[in-house]
Amino acid sequence: MTGAPRSRLLLLLPTTTYRAGAFIAAADALDADLTVASEKDSAFSTDEPDALLTLNFAEPAECVARVAQFHRRHPIRAVFGVDDRTAVVAAHVAQALGLDHNPPAAVEAAGDKFRQRQLLATAGVPIPSFAYHHFDRIDPASLATVRFPAVVKPVSLSASRGVMRVDNPDSLAKAISRLRAILEEAAPASEQAFLIEDYIPGEEYALEGILDDGRLTTLALFDKPDPLEGPTFAETIYLTPSQASAPVQAALHDTAQAACTALGLVRGPVHVELRYNARGPWLVELAARPIGGRCGEVLRFGPEAKSLETILLAQALGRLPTIPSREPQASGVMMLPVPRAGTFQRIDGLETALATPGVTDIAVTVHRGARVRPLPEESRYLGFIFARGPDPGTVERAIRQAFATLDIIIEQTP
């Protein structure tokens, strides 16, 4: 007598993601039959012929057709995309297969900063005032009305790439020219639009949440102790639990919930960037995906210390009857910034940094010989410092002490 068939999970993993190992481990912990889809058939090795699928994530319709064919032979219970682009593909695939997921239009709106701003403004969600511009049709009169300080940003891209603060007409003109060059290199030729919006001062927070039937649960609220005031917005340290007051945390959650509702998001992970000042909460960005990079490794849930990835995949598979709380211990991560452009060689002092009390791991995610550039041209980090402790202050001190011992060696290149 054979047992009931296990649930098959289709996991959409770009070849460039840091998250492959964590998500594959989570699928294994859930005892799910896993099929990994990526852009290259050699990206993930396996001996099982039904465990790999090659998809062109830039063409959602093509992905749907290929997955539907695969589904007829190997029925899929859930599909999950780990980043902005694959989340869109996952939504289209889920809709075609009749699986629980966000509507494709909602995920697409989350990935388009202009469309997101339009929907949030219509719904009354507090956001910066914004204006849409096109590089080939810039109206000098409209630029003359910009209120400084302001922020120039692309309608696509992520992780603060291409985002710049401007404080006067001269810096605005330079930022527009700089952004155009960034987009010509990074985005499709059709990407010719950008936003100019008010700069919102205040403390910045990151909310990691999960939606179930449209209701948002905060999995973690991160404080960002380093000021993010520009001219670029490279994030460094995330600390949780947040030290904000209960009323501030409630206001941030309510704003994130209102934004999810306005976009039409109903299920799965969201990563929300917010600010809070004397006028209350402001929504800066919302993504229909989990936290990026390897930052999710700082989160553990329930008495079994389950990973964030396990929680997210369990929900996708319909195996999350209740959402567990985050562990009581404080944790934090620092994203190692790229200090200058050049060829990455190494990071000295890693052993000393790892010996810092409270530091649990340091991961260098850039290989030797890689060409690197700081924001706003690029958005990747050199690696991550992880720490845990009894309270956020202790964690922050451990991270800063460890970082102070590191010597980042980048060779200048023409």
From the centroid of its chain, how far is CA 275?
A: 17
DSSP structural state of residue 323 = -
Phi (first) and psi of residue 164, to 5 degrees: -140, 140
> pLDDT class for 302, splitting at 50, 70, 90?
very high
Q: What is the C-alpha to C-alpha distance for residues 146 and 137, in angstroms, rounded to an integer?
A: 16
Contact by Cβ (8 Å): 152, 144: no
pLDDT at 4: 42
pLDDT tens sequence across 149-203: 999 999 988 888 999 999 999 999 999 999 999 998 876 555 688 999 999 999 9
Q: What is the C-alpha to C-alpha distance for residues 280 and 226, in angstroms, rounded to an integer?
A: 20
Which residue type sits at 200?
I
What is the arithmetic mean of pLDDT over 217-240?
96
pLDDT tens sequence across 90-110: 999 999 999 999 999 999 999
Contact by Cβ (8 Å): 78, 60: no
Ordered by where they begin, the domains of the chain are 8-105 (3.40.50.720), 129-198 (3.30.1490.20), 329-414 (3.90.1170.50)
Phi-psi region of 70 (alpha: psi -120 to 50; beta: other; left: phi over 0): alpha
Q: What is the C-alpha to C-alpha distance for residues 77 and 314, in angstroms, rounded to an integer?
A: 11
Mean pLDDT of the chain: 93
Q: What is the C-alpha to C-alpha distance for residues 286 and 374, in angstroms, rounded to an integer?
A: 23
Provide the sign of the torsion angle of the four alpha carbons 138, 144, 147, 149, taken in this order: positive
Q: Which string of b and e fits 371-402 if b means at least 16 CB within 10 Å?
A: ebeebbbbbbbbbbbbbbbeebebbbebbbbb
Contact by Cβ (8 Å): 152, 196: yes
pLDDT at 93: 98
Q: What is the C-alpha to C-alpha distance for residues 155 and 379, in angstroms, rounded to an integer?
A: 15
Contacts of 184 (CB under 8 A, 6+ apart): none
Q: Does position 3 have pLDDT exceeding 50, yes or no?
A: no
Q: Does position 248 have pLDDT exceeding 80, yes or no?
A: yes
In the chain, the percentage of residues whose pLDDT exceeds 70 is: 95
Strand partners, 178: none
pLDDT at 139: 85
Residues in the chain: 414
Q: Does position 44 have pLDDT exceeding 70, yes or no?
A: no
pLDDT at 17: 82
pLDDT at 254: 98
Q: Does position 71 have pLDDT exceeding 70, yes or no?
A: yes
What is the arithmetic mean of pLDDT over 25-36?
94
pLDDT tens sequence across 352-385: 999 999 999 999 999 999 999 999 998 889 999 9
> pLDDT class for 261, splitting at 50, 70, 90?
very high
What is the arithmetic mean of pLDDT over 252-262?
98
DSSP string of 235-285, one letter each residue? --EEEES--S-HHHHHHHHHHHHHHHHHHT--SEEEEEEEEEETTEEEEEE
pLDDT at 15: 87
pLDDT at 159: 82
pLDDT at 171: 97
pLDDT at 45: 55
pLDDT at 297: 95
Which of 127-141, 185-199, 262-276, 386-400 has the least mean pLDDT? 185-199
Any alpha helices (H) in 30-168, and if so which ranges? 60-73, 84-97, 104-110, 113-123, 140-143
